[in-house]
Amino acid sequence: MNTKDLNKIEFLSVSIIYGIAILLMIGTGSNRSAYVPSHYKELGISYSYFSNEFMPGIFRYSVQYFSFLLLNFCCLPALFRKSNTALHSLLIVVMYVVCGVVISVTNTYTHADELLDYDNLEEAYFAFFFIGFTRAAWLIALIVIYAGIKTKLLQTLERKEKGDADQMTLELSLGAAFWFTGTVVLFITRSGYDIIILWTMVIVPTLLLTVYSVYYLIPSVLAQGKTFKIYLGKIILLTVLTGMLIGLVILVTGQEGDLYAIILAFYVPAQLLISTPLAWYIFKSRNDTAAQIHTLQMELGKSDANLGFLKSQINPHFLFNALNTLYGTALQENAERTGEGIQKLGDMMRFMLQENMQDKISLSRDIDYLNNYIALQKLRTSVSVDILINTEIEEPLAALEITPMLLIPFVENAFKHGISLQSPSHIRITLQTKGDTLYFDVHNSIHLKADGDPEKLNSGIGLQNVKQRLALLYPKKHELIIRESAKEFFVHLTLNLK
């Protein structure tokens, strides 16, 4: 939903509510034209529904309606954009004064019987105007909070559609919307300030602690190998500390001590019986879902890599080149090198059809495949003295395992783009292990393929695919550096195989 559509819904909704309120007052007036409340008769005060109820209600509802329209659609959006800040700030102040005056004056009519509760009219009007301006401040504050929450939610949802939204921000915004909705209901029903304070002091800390638990406290507890009991103990401590903070707020604002006791009576059960298990359930559910998604991504990445590799390596063009190389070698020699080449090609085919399908294989076996591939490529390029291929591939001393087909794409890429039979070319490949860490470097020249060469369009599984597989299979256990210039390409991979 965009801002324009939401604005239409908001305008239509508040207009309908405003119209219904007016119609209800008209309908009530038709039935109460001659009605006089008993306490007005007892006090000897004249009463008219039109002057004491209908007209004050019209003014009060109208000022609230137009205040919402002006602030929500004009002043506040401009302030959020930092446009004409001074002008729109002044409009908000003017609107506050107008609302305060209207609410105060209308209260003197709707609550005329209460004027006699004071010693003199001056004291009564002071009290009425204080209440009126306080309610006006609440009205303006609620509209500001509503507009702020709405703007933040729209921005977060827009970012979520683009895939870069912060989930915690979205949930905080939704929590704020929940608190705001309850506050508006209490305000509309003219609940006492004590009820609104109670609602705020219970809901806001509970929502904040729930979000904190889901995103920070529970992950920290589980990362240390602790259990639910430790989490519950920390929650109890936080509940005590926040309860003391609420008491300090109550003390500073001058509220009664009984209100603090009532707040604690609601806040402690809400935090311990609702928020604590809810946060644990949300985290565990999300964690399980994330683990399932990660597993599916790994399986999908592995399947795509295997399929892509087989498509790229076992293709007619590659086999045609290999067989042509072996055929040319057979014409030049007594078939010894031909037999060697065929053997290496057979080992590669066997590797791809069998061991390539496993989750992990011996690093020594993967290195054998690399050596076979490089040796076969050397047969093809040995006709040119301008092609230099240097390899320093050490056999691992430890029994390490690696996911198959992680290293070969870099070597394949080097031979595909780094070799030209017409121009000087070079490739340097080094591989060594220290402890559980693999160090792998590929350095090659770059030669553009001809437009008709099938290899120009066939990039194997691609380096991007390798990056994704590394991120899925070895998160926080690898470092991949790729540099490219106009004539050279360099890859450095550090991989922790533990």
pLDDT bin (cut points 50, 70, 90) of residue 353 is low
Ramachandran bin of 430, using left for φ above 0, alpha for ψ from -120 to 50, beta for the remaining angles: beta
Q: If you average pLDDT over residues 276-297, what whole number do you get?
A: 75
Averaged pLDDT of the chain: 80
- Reduce the secondary structure of the chain to three states and give it as a string: CCHHHHHHHHHHHHHHHHHHHHHHHHHHHHHCCCCCCHHHHHHCCCCCHHHHHHHHHHHHHHHHHHHHHHHHHHHHHHHHCCCCHHHHHHHHHHHHHHHHHHHHHHHHHHCHHHHHHCCCHHHHHHHHHHHHHHHHHHHHHHHHHHHHHHHHHHHHHHHHHHCCCCHHHHHHHHHHHHHHHHHHHHHHCCCCHHHHHHHHHHHHHHHHHHHHHHHHHHHHHHHCCCCHHHHHHHHHHHHHHHHHHHHHHHHHCCCCHHHHHHHHHHHHHHHHHHHHHHHHHHHHHHHHHHHHHHHHHHHHHHHHHHHHHHHHHCCHHHHHHHHHHHHHHHHHCCCHHHHHHHHHHHHHHHHHHCHHHCCCEEHHHHHHHHHHHHHHHHHHHCCCCCEEEEEEECCCCCCCEECCCCCHHHHHHHHHHHCCCCCCEEEEEEEEEECCEEEEEEEEECCCCCCCCHHHHCCCCHHHHHHHHHHHHCCCCEEEEEEECCCEEEEEEEEECC
Q: Mind listing the pLDDT tens digit for each residue in 52-84?
A: 888 988 998 899 899 989 998 899 989 988 888
CA-based nearest residue to 143, from 91, 195, 236, 76: 76
Q: Which comes out higher in pLDDT, residue 359 or 473? A: 473
Q: Which residues pair with 430 in a beta bridge?
A: 392, 441
pLDDT bin (cut points 50, 70, 90) of residue 324 is low
pLDDT at residue 479 in the model:
93
pLDDT at residue 466 in the model:
83
pLDDT at residue 432 in the model:
94
The encoded tokens of residue 196 equal 């609104």
pLDDT bin (cut points 50, 70, 90) of residue 460 is very low
Q: Mind listing the pLDDT tens digit for each residue in 76-131?
A: 989 988 888 899 999 999 999 999 999 999 988 888 877 777 888 888 888 889 98
Task: Show the domains of the chain with their CATH numbers.
Answer: 3-285 (no CATH), 314-496 (3.30.565.10)
Q: Mind listing the pLDDT tens digit for each residue in 339-350?
A: 666 667 666 766
Q: Mind listing the pLDDT tens digit for each residue in 401-439?
A: 998 888 988 998 898 888 887 888 999 999 999 999 999
Q: Mind listing the pLDDT tens digit for each residue in 179-194?
A: 877 777 776 666 777 7
CA-based nearest residue to 17, from 74, 77, 69: 69
Q: Which comes out higher in pLDDT, residue 59 or 379? A: 59
Residue whose entry in the numeric block shows the structure tokens 């490089």? 374
Nearest 10 degrees: Cα torsion 410, 339, 426, 417: -50
pLDDT at 306 over 90: no
Q: In what order do the strands lie in the sheet with 478-484?
A: 387-393, 425-434, 437-445, 488-496, 478-484
Q: Is the pTM of this model over 0.75?
A: no
CA-based nearest residue to 368, from 337, 390, 347: 347
pLDDT at 156 over 80: no
pLDDT at 394 over 60: yes
CA-based nearest residue to 10, from 96, 59, 58, 73: 73
Q: Which comes out higher in pLDDT, residue 256 or 101? A: 101
The encoded tokens of residue 193 equal 């300030």
Q: Mind listing the pLDDT tens digit for each residue in 218-233?
A: 888 888 888 888 888 8
284-288, 328-332, 401-405, 453-457: which has the minimum mean pLDDT?
453-457
- Asked whether 150 and 81 are in contact (CB, 8 A), the reply is no
User: In the Cβ-directed half-sphere of 65, how many Cα atoms lie within 13 Å?
Assistant: 18
